[in-house]
Amino acid sequence: MLKQTTGYKNSEDVILIADDDKEVRSTLSDILEYNKFNVMQAENGEDAIRIAKEAKPHLILLDILMPVLDGYETFRLLKEDKKTKDIPVLFVSALSGEKDQINGLKLGSLDYIVKPFNQETLIPKILTHVEHRKRQIEETCLEKALLRTNELERKGIEYEMHEYLCQNLVAIDMMMEKLDKSQIREIFNHTLDKAVVLANKAYPVSMRMGYGIVSALEELLSLKNENLGANCRLEYIDRSIPDHFTETALQIYRIAGRSIKNAIKFSKATDISISLAREEDMIILKIEYDGINLFEISDDMDVKSEVKTLSHLAKIFEASYEIESSASGKTAVKVSFPYMALL
């Protein structure tokens, strides 16, 4: 009798069964499909490798005694190929000896299931390894998104700096004869100030000096007040929070900067407050602002894209990015991350 032992609905998780015994494949397939998994089948090792490369399943259930390529050789080839090396494999075999199980685990199999199997213990094992694989895939995607976002930010800053500096320097050169020294000095100093602001978008001065999130936020607010016109203030800061450089501190700084920029750009905020506090093992960064409530414009594609990007950036560093609406109608961005990440 088939039993549903997972709470899955409309699962997109793919499991590849590689076994030369048609009856075993059919039984396993029925159990897995009943528990809302998508199933693919291979009757030998060569087919299993080909399907794994094309479909990239979340998990492979691999028999050992198969024609063409046995399970051990199939496993070795899967792990040697960059397209399939990260796919988790569970041996499912009638070889029940302790030596066989040890050999399978030594090769790198995550588990060894002996036929005939008990579906009540089989499904939880499969579910555990599928969930782990999904987290791996998600983390890889997030890391790529971070690298891509950082690269786009860097290129944007370079372009903005190049355009601004070139325009101002060309203007000074063209108007040199019409300007006195004080006017030239004023334009030149303003240009240098703008260059510093652009440079600090990527890496604040305080962090280049080895300081951390506390000093960087203070620096960020002074720059925002000077260059954006909005009233940006530090509502509260816990001075016991570590203030030395870490990669997490840098990313939180960037998330804060983009959140403030978004508040001004999308919500037309004129009053922005920031607090940084410790709550047990977590650090809470809160950015609250007036203007158009973000939930009122949540369908805007640019808003959606920014929120999704910032959520991904936060998740890479084991942080959470939440948007709340206060009773007064203000929007609050809340970033929570582990205290240990700042040590």
Q: What is the pLDDT of residue 94?
A: 66
CB-based burial label for 267 (10 Å; 0-12, 13-18, 19+): buried
CB-based burial label for 6 (10 Å; 0-12, 13-18, 19+): middle
Q: Are 299 and 283 in contact (CB under 8 A)?
A: no
Query: Token digits for 183?
Result: 């006017």
Q: How far apart are CA 119 and CA 194, in angstroms?
A: 65
Q: Are 286 and 255 in contact (CB under 8 A)?
A: no
- Listed residue (258, 257, 326, 334) closest to 291, CA to CA: 326
Residue ranges for the chain with pLDDT beneath 70: 1-11, 94-110, 112, 138-177, 184, 188, 191-203, 223-229, 327
For 243-254, how does the pLDDT look when each residue is reduced to its tens digit (9 = 90+)? Answer: 888 888 888 888
Q: How far apart are CA 50 and CA 98, in angstroms?
A: 30
Query: Token digits for 147?
Result: 């690298």
Order of strands, edge to edge, in the sheet holding 14-18? 38-42, 14-18, 59-62, 89-93, 111-114
Q: Are 301 and 339 in contact (CB under 8 A)?
A: no
Q: Are 206 and 244 in contact (CB under 8 A)?
A: no
Q: What is the pLDDT of residue 8?
A: 41
Q: What is the pLDDT of residue 124?
A: 80
Q: Are 252 and 213 in contact (CB under 8 A)?
A: yes
Sign, CA dihedral 35-38-42-45, equals negative
Q: How far apart are CA 252 and CA 14, in angstroms?
A: 35
DSSP 106-159: HHT-SEEEESSPPHHHHHHHHHHHHHHHHHHHHHHHHHHHHHHHHHHHHHHHHH
Q: What is the pLDDT of residue 24?
A: 87
Q: What is the pLDDT of residue 101?
A: 58
For 121-139, how does the pLDDT look when each residue is reduced to its tens digit (9 = 90+)? Answer: 778 888 887 887 877 776 6
Helix H or strand E encompassing 101: helix 98-107
CB atoms within 10 A of CB 22: 10
